[in-house]
Amino acid sequence: MRALAESGPQGAYALIRERSHEDAELERRLNTLRERIRRQAERNIARSSEGYDRRLEELSIAERRSKEEIDREFAELEEKLRASRARGRAAFALPELAPEVTAALLIPSASWNQPPRPSLWQRLRAWFVRVFGRLFGRRRTGAAPEPDTGRRVPLVSLSLDGRTLGPSALGEALARLSPEQETELSQRVGEQIRASESDLRKHAEQKRRDAETQRRKLEEERQAALARNSAEVERKVREAEDRRIDRELRERGMVAPTAHGLEVTYALVERFARLLLAEEEHLAPAEVRFALRGGAATGIYEKARLRQPDEIARLDVPSSLLAARLVGQKHLDESTSYIYREATSETVQVVLALDRSGSMAEGGKLEAAKKALLALYVAVRRKYPTAAIDVLAFDNVVQVMDLVELWSCSPGAFTNTAEALRTANHLFASARSVSRREFFLITDGLPEAYTDADGTVRAGQRESAMSQALARARELAKVRPLRFSMVLLKSSHPEYETAARAIARAIGGELVVTDPSRLGIELLVRWTRDTEVVHRPASPVVPATLPPSPGGAGRHRRADRRMGG
C-alpha cells in the first residue's frame, strides 16, 4: 500500500517482484504466469528459427551447386589445355577450342597481325631504285608488287567486327599460318586457357566470399531476431505480470483506470493515511496516543451495533453474549456485538491549508507536509466521524481538494497566503452551529503574492503581499470559536519567522516552527490539546456497580439514559 501510494502502480510492480524472493506462494504464482507466457513465446521463436534454418539450407544448396559448376568448368579448361598440348595443329580445329583459338588469333600483338618485314634483298633493291631515280631523273609511278608468299593472315579483312571470326574465316586463317605462327598460336591458346582458369578461380573466390557474407548476415539476423524475441518474451512476461497486478489492485479498489492510465483511489489514500497516522502515533507522546484512540465524551450514550474496531472499548458484554446465544453462536463477532455509542457529540469543522509553492519542493518539505496532513485528516475523522474537513492547497491560487488530489499535488509558483486565509474564512462562514473550529496552515516562507480587487494575482511584491495577508488575518480573527495553528518549516531566513508570527498574532493563534520530520507529531499534538485525554490506569480497575442514587426514581432514569440503559 505504501509503495502504491508513494510511487504509483510502478512502485507496486517493483515491490511485488522484490518480495517474490521472500514469499514462496507469491513466487510460485509469478513463476506459473511467467512459464505460461514463455511457452507461448517459445513457439513463436521456434517458427522464426525454422525460417532462418530454411534460408541457410537454401544458401548451402546454392553454394554447393555453384561449386560443382565451377569444378566442372575447371575440368573442361584442363581438358582443353591437355588437348591443345597433345594434338598440336589438329587441336585448333576442335569445336571446344574455337573460342580460345579465335581470341588468340585476334590478339593485336600476335605476329600474324603485324605488317610483314621486307627481306634484305628487297630493302637493297628499293634503295637502288631510289638512288638511280634521283640520278637519272626517272620517277616510278608505282612500286612493283611484292611476291605473295602465301603465309600472311589478313585477319582485318577476315574479321567483321574485330573481335570474332566465322568458321570459314577461321579455317582460312589457320591454313595460312606458318609453322612458327602455329607454335605461337599454340602458346597463346594455352595462355588463353590459363587466363580463363584464373578468371574462373577469381569468380569462384568471389562467389565463396558472397556466400560467406550471406551466411554471416543470416547468422547475425538470426542472433538479432533471437535477442529481439527474448526481449519480447521478457516484455510480454512483465506486461502480463503488470496486468495481473493491475487487475487485483482494481478488484481491491486501490487503483482506477483513467484517461492517463491507472491512478490511486480515495480508498487507497485513506488507508495510507491511517497507516501514516499509526506511524506518527507510535512516535507521539503517551497522552497524545491515548487521546487519539477514542471520541470526545458527552455523557449521553445509546446502545447500537459495533461499526468500528475502536468502539470495542465500550462493548456491552451482557447484551452481546445474549445476542450471540440467540443466534446459536459460541463466540462474539461484529454481527452480535453491541456497544455504547455517543448519542450527541460536538459539531467540528477543520480546515487544513498547505503551501505548495515552488520552495516547498526543496528538502522533501512538500512530501512531509502531505503525509502530515493525511495523518491529521484521519485523526480528526476518527475522533469526529461527522466532522467537516476541508483541505486547501495554495500557491498563486487556492484549490479546495480531496485526499487524492492532496496526495498527488505538485509544487507551483508563489505563496499567496492572503488568498488562503480568505478562502478559509469563506469556508468557516458557510458552516452553521459549529462548536469547534480548527485551522491548520503549513508554510515555509513569506507571503509573496496576493489577489487584487479585480481578481488578478500580483506576484513578487512582498510588502503588499504581507499587508494583504495581515488584513485577511484580522478578518479571520472575527470568526468564533476558532483555534489557529500556523506551522512554519524551519528556514535560514529569520524574517520568515517574523512574518509568520505576525500573521498568527493577528488571527489570535499560535506559531509552531519545526522540521519536516517532526511535522506530523506537531500537528497531532496541537489537535489533541485541550481535548479529553484518557490516561492509562496504574493498576487494573475492577468495574463496580453504581451505588443507589439518593435522588429517587427520576435520577435513576437519568442515569440509565446516560449509560444507554
The DSSP code sequence of 465-489 is: HHHHHHHHHHHHTTSSS-EEEEEEE
Q: Which residue has the higher pLDDT, 214 or 304?
A: 214
User: What is the Cα–Cα distance from 177 to 189, expressed in whole angstroms?
Assistant: 14
Residue 557 lies in a domain: no
Q: Is it the case that residue 146 has pLDDT exceeding 60?
A: no
Cell triple for 137:
631523273
Residues 509 and 493 in one domain: yes
pLDDT-wise least confident of 42-46, 262-266, 488-492: 42-46
Top mean pLDDT of 87-91, 337-341, 544-548 is at: 337-341
Q: Which of 545, 510, 531, 493 is nearest to 440 (CA)?
A: 510
Residues 87 and 180 in one domain: yes
Residues 433 and 510 in one domain: yes
Q: What is the pLDDT of residue 366?
A: 94
Q: What is the pLDDT of residue 344?
A: 58
Residue 436's contacts (CB-CB under 8 Å, 6 or more residues apart) are 346, 347, 348, 349, 481, 483
Say what the pTM is: 0.59
CATH number of the CATH domain containing 495: 3.40.50.410
Q: What is the pLDDT of residue 41?
A: 74
Residues 234 and 292 in one domain: no
pLDDT, tens digit, 9 for 90 and up, residues 216-243: 888 888 888 878 877 877 888 888 888 8
Residues 509 and 469 in one domain: yes
Q: What is the pLDDT of residue 467?
A: 94
Q: Which residue has the higher pLDDT, 88 or 61?
A: 61
Q: What is the pLDDT of residue 240?
A: 82
Residues 82 and 222 in one domain: yes
Residues 405 and 498 in one domain: yes
User: What is the Cα–Cα distance from 416 to 355, expressed in whole angstroms?
Assistant: 9
Residues 336 and 231 in one domain: no
Quote the crossing angle between the two packed helices 519-528 and 365-383, to the nearest 10°.
30
Cell triple for 547:
451505588
Residues 13 and 127 in one domain: yes
CA 61, chain centre distance (Å): 45
Residue 404 lies in a domain: yes
Residues 418 and 508 in one domain: yes
Residue 240 lies in a domain: yes
CA distance to 139, 145, 148, per residue, from 125 (Å): 15, 13, 17
State how many domains the chain has.
3
Q: What is the pLDDT of residue 104?
A: 77
Q: What is the pLDDT of residue 546?
A: 35
Residue 542 lies in a domain: no
User: What is the Cα–Cα distance from 231 to 213, expressed in whole angstroms?
Assistant: 27
Residue 534 lies in a domain: no
CA terminus-to-terminus distance, the chain: 42
Residues 54 and 192 in one domain: yes
Top mean pLDDT of 3-17, 293-307, 469-483 is at: 469-483
Cell triple for 347:
459539531
Residue 27 lies in a domain: yes
Q: What is the pLDDT of residue 402?
A: 92
**What is the radius of gyration, based on Cα positions, of the chain?**
54
Q: What percent of the chain has pLDDT over 90?
A: 25
pLDDT, tens digit, 9 for 90 and up, residues 510-559: 999 999 999 999 999 999 875 433 333 333 333 333 344 444 444 333 33
Residue 562 lies in a domain: no
Q: Which of 320, 215, 237, 249 is nearest to 31 (CA)?
A: 237
Residue 556 lies in a domain: no
Residues 367 and 435 in one domain: yes
Domain span holding position 359: 283-297+346-528
Q: Which helix (H) or strand (E) holds 261?
A: strand 261-264
Q: Hey, is 355 helix, strand or coil?
A: strand
Q: Which helix (H) or strand (E) holds 341?
A: strand 338-342
Q: What is the pLDDT of residue 550?
A: 44
Sign of CA dihedral 355, 360, 364, 365: negative
Cell triple for 278:
499509526
